[in-house]
Amino acid sequence: MPSDHATNFILASLTGSPPPPRPNTLCELPIFNTNNMPATTGSLNPHHWDQFLIMYPDQAFTTQLHGALHHGVKLGYDRPLCSATHLEVTNLPMDNANIHHLHHKIDACLAEGHLCLVTEPATTKLVCLPVGVVPKPCSDKWCTIYHLSHPQNPGS
Distance CA 54, CA 63 (A): 9
Contact 65, 39 (CB under 8 A): no
Question: pLDDT, tens digit, for every residue of 92-131?
Answer: 899 999 999 999 999 998 888 888 888 887 777 677 788 8
pLDDT at 50: 83
Distance CA 148, CA 26 (A): 24
Fill in the DSSP letter of residue 155. T
State yes or no: pLDDT of 156 exceeds 60: no
| Lowest model confidence (mean pLDDT) among 12-16, 34-38, 83-87, 135-139 | 83-87
Higher pLDDT, 131 or 83: 131
Question: pLDDT, tens digit, for every residue of 24-45?
Answer: 767 777 888 888 766 656 677 7
Helix (H) or strand (E) holding 97: helix 96-112
Contact 143, 134 (CB under 8 A): yes
